Amino acid sequence: MLFNSIQFILFFPFITLIYYWCFHKYRWAVLLAGSYYFYMCWKPEYLVLILLSTTVDYFAALAMEKAQEIKKKKRFLFLSLFTNLGLLGLFKYWNFVSENLNQIIDENTFSTLDILLPVGISFYTFQTLSYTIDVYRGDIKAERHFGKFALFVSFFPQLVAGPIERAKRFIPQLYKKINYDQVMIGLGLKLMTWGFFKKLVIADNCGLLVNQVYNNPETHKGIFVVLAALLFPFQIYADFSGYSDIAIGAAMVLGITLMQNFNRPFIAQSIGEHWKRWHISLSTWFMDYLYIPLGGSKTTKWRWYYNLFITFLISGLWHGANWTFILWGAYHGALVVLERMIGYGKNRSGGILGLAKNVVVFLLIVFGFIIFRSNNLSDVPIILNNLVTDLNLDAITEFFEKSTILRNKRILVVFFAIVLMMTLEYLYDKKNVIGFLNRQHFVIRFLFYIISILAILMFGNFTSIDFIYFQF
């Protein structure tokens, strides 16, 4: 079930009404049943994977807490790691590994599987792994209530694309009595509206040009490729942060608080700062469960650089079974290591220098996203070559005079929408765009939401396009 579908528009009010109608002690069951139905709308049989992961981690955590010897605790932690990473490896990486091994040995020794990638498996796998690791470390107690733990694993607003929540933040909220809060619900609905605006008006309309260029790189040159390269960062940001806004807003309507997942990543003045602002729930997951266990920065200088690089490399692999993602992760890892080596990025700058840093970092991000968005490694040099081919004044002038793309109202609207999005995100401080708007005069708030809704209805792309991060 997609957020941007009629099915969800009917499902969400229905589940919300039942949720607030029920007694507090039964609400977890309403949300769990709704979450399982939400997931089964994609492929019902894949619910078995969530149930298996949930059951193994529930009993493994209880066993770890009960065990007195560290060896026994490690056995149950290994069971959790083997089950979750095994399922992730089988469904997400088996075919990738098999195909590459067959190419290396030039034989079809390793078979591939005709299976679909279960939507959201990377997200709920990392979410439940964080729980068992935290129990193993003694940071949290094992959850006794199986149903509430199952809801933690499968909570529908953030099930398929995050934010990747932590048990110590999420599960205690299920024990609190949540009253009908009109203010909280209003804020949640506004945040969902903003998320739909970003997804339907910006991301999906950006995709009209971006997909055309990246899916046919040989036939596009010059300004077309430049525009696609510049638009894709805004497409993926509006798409993914739009999903996060809808997820966080939907949870707010239900009285549950999810963590912030984005914090104005395009105002970063270093790559390291960018990653503190982009996909925060994943970045902090890798820091807590990979980077720090490897030794973090509390080791020799070269080991520190290795820890940084390997963390980004594996983060790239997490995004998908494709060499483009691995290269993209290595690219960002190398940039962060370079920044640490020369001591760059410790302090933010203001004025012209700060703006120059913003531009340089954005262009580095754009280059990385060319690798990320390319369908395969062989497309990367083609796109980079075509990026600078026919890029002269005559070609650019002809493009702006004759291009049918610029006459397309949707493309023109998307440029204005991007400017609006970036302006608002530049203006707000530590909260979010909705928090910023709520401090404005009532008339300004009212006009903004009316215009947003009208823009969605008039210019939104309602073809039920998947969110980009569903494929991860």
Give catalytic residues, as residue numbers. Answer: 319
In this structure, what DSSP letter does residue 395 have? Answer: H
Confidence band, pLDDT 50/70/90 cuts, at residue 369 = very high
Amino acid making up residue 457: L
Confidence band, pLDDT 50/70/90 cuts, at residue 119 = confident
In this structure, what DSSP letter does residue 392 have? Answer: S
Lowest mean pLDDT among 241-250, 310-319, 330-339, 430-439: 430-439
Does residue 465 have a pLDDT over 80? Answer: no
Three-state DSSP state, 162: coil
Q: Give the pLDDT confidence score for residue 398 in this predicted structure.
A: 64
Q: Give the pLDDT confidence score for residue 401 in this predicted structure.
A: 58
pLDDT tens, position by position, 9-24: 999 999 999 999 999 8
Q: Give the pLDDT confidence score for residue 395 in this predicted structure.
A: 67
Three-state DSSP state, 389: coil
Between residues 324 and 429, the one the model is more confident about: 324
Nearest in space to 433 (alpha carbons), one of 192, 137, 93, 207: 192
Who contacts 380 (Cβ-Cβ below 8 Å, separation ≥6)?
324, 327, 370, 371, 374
Q: Give the pLDDT confidence score for residue 402 in this predicted structure.
A: 57
pLDDT tens, position by position, 104-116: 887 777 788 888 8
In angstroms, the CA 397 to CA 115 distance is: 48
The mean of the pLDDT values for the chain is 89
Does residue 175 have a pLDDT over 60? Answer: yes
CA 264-332-337 angle, to 5 degrees, is 110
Average pLDDT over residues 387-414: 69
Confidence band, pLDDT 50/70/90 cuts, at residue 295 = very high
Q: Give the pLDDT confidence score for residue 399 in this predicted structure.
A: 63
Can you give the pTM of this predicted structure?
A: 0.91
Average pLDDT over residues 342-351: 85
Lowest mean pLDDT among 190-204, 245-259, 400-414: 400-414
Q: Give the pLDDT confidence score for residue 322 in this predicted structure.
A: 92
Lowest mean pLDDT among 135-144, 150-159, 444-453: 444-453
Q: Give the pLDDT confidence score for residue 430 in this predicted structure.
A: 45
Does residue 431 have a pLDDT over 60? Answer: no
pLDDT tens, position by position, 212-232: 889 988 988 888 899 999 999
Three-state SS string over 219-261 comes to HCCCHHHHHHHHHHHHHHHHHHHHHHHHHHHHHHHCCCCCCCC
